[in-house]
Amino acid sequence: MRRVFEAFAAGEGPKSIAAALNRNKIPGPRGGIWQAGILRGQAARETGILRNRLYIGELVWNQRRWLKDPGTGQRVARANAPSEVVREQVPELRIIEQSLWDRVQQRLEAQRAVLDEGTSDKRP
């Protein structure tokens, strides 16, 4: 994982990183192929490998709850209130140093800001 974080911090994009992992035949999550979304995840949900706080020794749970939509019968994820999210420090699980984590998070946030800026004029 350190390789993924270092490549992203150095300016490489998630698509390029995923392609390199696939080219090197490194199995992805659950043995599948790597895709950019697996690395990047969703900012609002704090998902994806590059946002996974377990790599810095922080275990986070109870971020979402699952409800069943009565109309469709499908399960739908809903965010729990921030006060309900549980965080526990587990420093023995840290594999990414704080400075590398911070650089990656700054780059992710900068990319998100650019995307938000580009869509702000299109919002009602």
Q: What is the pLDDT of residues 21-57, one digit of tens each?
A: 999 999 998 999 999 999 999 988 889 999 999 999 9
Q: Identify the DSSP state of 81.
A: P
Report the C-alpha gap between 42 and 3 in whole angstroms. Answer: 21
How far is C-alpha 111 from the chain's CA centre? 13
Averages of pLDDT over each 10 residues, the chain, 124 residues:
96 97 95 95 91 96 92 92 95 97 96 70 52
CB 85 within 8 A of CB 75: no
pLDDT at position 71: 92
Residue 116 CA to residue 43 CA, distance in Å, equals 12
Of 35, 12, 11, the C-alpha closest to 22 is 35
